[in-house]
Amino acid sequence: MSDLTTLVKRAAEDAGFDVCGIAPAMDAPELQRFPEWIAAGHAGEMKYLEARDEQGDLKRASLARVAPWARSVIVCAINYNTAHPYSTQVHDPSRGWISRYAWSREDYHDAALRRLQNVEAVLRQLVPAELQPTLTTRSYVDTGPIVERVCAKYAGVGWIGKNTCLINQKKGSWLFLGVILTSLDLAPDMPAPDRCGTCTRCIEACPTDAFLGPYQLDANKCIAYLTIEKRGTIPEDLRAEMGHHVFGCDICQDVCPWNRKAPASTAPEFQPRPGLVNPALAWLAEMSEEDFRQIFRGSPIRRTKRSGLRRNAAIAMGNSGNREFLPILDKLVADEDESVSESAHWAKNRVSSKM
């Protein structure tokens, strides 16, 4: 089905994807380490990663277990980079940092899935009539029990870097991934070779030492996890190293040499919403519930909730050393949300100690 593979890749390009590859539907060696990672507690509170089947086995540890009918995986990637500074290039003590992927005007799940479903529709149209009755396809953008970046590696889309992100030689790592599982036997691509070499910049740059070693991440220490997934209070010993981050973290990608010349996306929905690039901390900390709903409607930032965003802003204020934040922190100390109040108290003491 080499002709069909070519047409599918053309459909992906027409849909706006920057890279497309085909991987065999197999249980890759990387998936064998997933149960150990979960058992060690490195997933933190992300219980959705621990989804199990009726036999009690982890779904993400076996593609064959999740979709025994699948024969091929179509992996599509779209660049979301924009022509704005990296987090390592901005140092305004009155402002925080929201991860690059969350600036967009539309939630990437929706933007990528819409394109992916266009590719899936073309695929179904291209399949010969005699194969239609047995054809099965499923599209996912971070919505299924699938480790997309592992599929992407074997589809030749990129390699998994030492920071556990997928890296493409020409596009860098600012990529959203989507996969289409299909019962068709499509011609697979060659796996992408690992081009990290001896570089360890990502590991060395991580402020919280979240990497256990190359290709090994302890989510419990990852700033992205702490600011997005972690509920309640953040461990005090990690707060100072969170710097100005209020939602996600880009540091390990910012310092990656493969991102030095990463192209900017042309997709309009990935352009930043007003105020989200290096946002004012005071604005975030004092945001009302209604403002939060309005400003972040259709945004992945809703995942951390208003409580989490204000908690993170308070910690960033503490790390800024900016005395102008003390009146705001005084208000937050009296906040009815315990995680916000406790974080503001810590931040106030931290700012005061620097005076």
- Alpha-carbon distance 233 to 210, whole Å? 18
DSSP letter at 161? -
Q: What is the DSSP code string of 168-205?
A: BTTTBT-EEEEEEEESS-PPPPPPPPP--TT--HHHHH
| List of residues 6+ apart from 231 with CB closer than 8 A | 45, 308, 339
Single out the catalytic residue among 18, 27, 57, 142.
142
- Alpha-carbon distance 343 to 310, whole Å? 9
The residues pairing with 104 across neighbouring beta strands, listed in sequence order, are 272
Radius of gyration for the alpha carbons in the chain, expressed in angstroms and rounded: 21
- Alpha-carbon distance 187 to 73, whole Å? 10
- Collapsing DSSP to helix, strand or coil, 52 comes out as strand
The answer to whether 142 is a known catalytic residue is: yes
Structure tokens at 26: 């197999």
- Alpha-carbon distance 239 to 285, whole Å? 17
Cβ pair 184, 150 in contact under 8 A: no
The dihedral sign for the CA sequence 25, 44, 86, 267: positive
Which segments of 75-161 does DSSP mark as H helices, in order? 108-126, 148-154
Which segments of the chain does DSSP mark as H helices, in order? 2-14, 34-39, 63-66, 108-126, 148-154, 201-205, 223-228, 236-239, 251-254, 281-285, 289-295, 305-320, 326-333, 338-353
Cβ pair 83, 253 in contact under 8 A: no
DSSP letter at 106? S
Catalytic annotation, residues: 142
